[in-house]
Amino acid sequence: MPDENAQLPLAQWQTRQSFITSISLSEDGQFLTTLGKDGSEKTWAIQSSDELLMQQACSWVRDYLKYNSDLNNGDRRLCNGIKG
């Protein structure tokens, strides 16, 4: 049985680097760079946790917002413009 208190990662990245020796975050928090044992370097664009949470939430409720007849039109548009 899964641990109910376990936290899921907000994001994860996959790389073909065989072994990561260093991780650096840019000063503005927009990029993450990994260095591999083989000398390879990979830079990742990072979305803010707020963006990720909004995308995830909207992907969960999009059908509810679209098909629930009890909602007003303003509520139906809550997730407009949010990918997910």
Residue 77 tokens read as 């548009």
> How much is the pLDDT for 28?
81
Average pLDDT of 38-64?
A: 82
Tens digit of each residue's pLDDT (9 = 90 or more) over 7-36: 655 566 676 767 888 888 888 878 888 888
Global pTM value:
0.45
- Please give the pLDDT value at position 10: 55
Smallest CA-to-CA distance from 22 within 7, 36, 9, 43 is with 36
Kindly list the domain boundaries of the chain, sorted by start residue: 17-46, 48-84
